[in-house]
Amino acid sequence: MAPTLRDENCQDELFLLDLYATSRAQEMAAVPWSSEQKEAFLKMQFQAQHDYYKEKYSSASFQIVVEEGVAIGRLYVLREPEVIRILDITIIEAKRGKGVGTQLLQRVLDEATQSQRPVEIYVETVNPSLRLFERLGFSQRAEEGFNFLLEWRPAGSPGQPPREN
């Protein structure tokens, strides 16, 4: 069954916090803090990120990824006149590598093709999802600290050679 999207609401806060925490689990395993310290740190970081997104990108779509009635991820997208920016895409660990991310990204790429806009996303240099983005045709446009700025352009758009089928 294909995942669906619904707008995020205040009842999603605990799910989003847990999703954020699992996305940083490997990093947290490496620090010598107590579980209480890790939990406090993750709550603080989640809230800072969440507030930043809502303030800086207030016109973005903040959506929950749902499969069979259960929240399994988040997709935040800012649609600007000249570019579509994926602010965040995170899927729960149990659903990673099962095609959910590919399906969601393909929807964004289809929208970009229809509107002839490029798609951009920042991805950490050590993020395993880099392979997914490369497989979908994203290319590295810049490196900023620990992040790559990746870009995808529709076939036939300026700066993009025609794609082979």
Report helix angle 35-56 to 13-23, nearest 10: 110
**Taking the model in full, what pTM does it have?**
0.90
pLDDT tens-digit map of 101-143:
999 999 999 999 999 999 999 999 988 899 999 999 999 999 9
**Upper half-sphere CA count for residue 95 (Cβ side, 13 Å):** 24
Beta-bridged to residue 123, according to DSSP, are 148
**Taken in order 107, 104, 48, 71, is the CA torsion positive or negative?**
positive
Mean pLDDT of the chain: 93
pLDDT of 159 reads 60
Q: What is the pLDDT of residue 160?
A: 53
Contact indicator for 76, 63 with CB cutoff of 8 Å: yes
- Tell me the pLDDT band of 158, cut-offs 50, 70 and 90: low
Asked whether 109 and 93 are in contact (CB, 8 A), the reply is no
CB 135 within 8 A of CB 152: no
Which of 119, 113, 15 is CA-nearest to residue 73?
Answer: 15
Tell whether the model's pLDDT for residue 164 goes beyond 50: no
Q: Decide: helix, strand or coil at residue 82.
A: coil
Specify the amino acid at residue 31: V
163, pLDDT greater than 50: no
Tell me the average pLDDT across 7-11.
96
Of the candidates 115, 95, 119, 124, which has an alpha carbon nearest to the alpha carbon of residue 105? 119
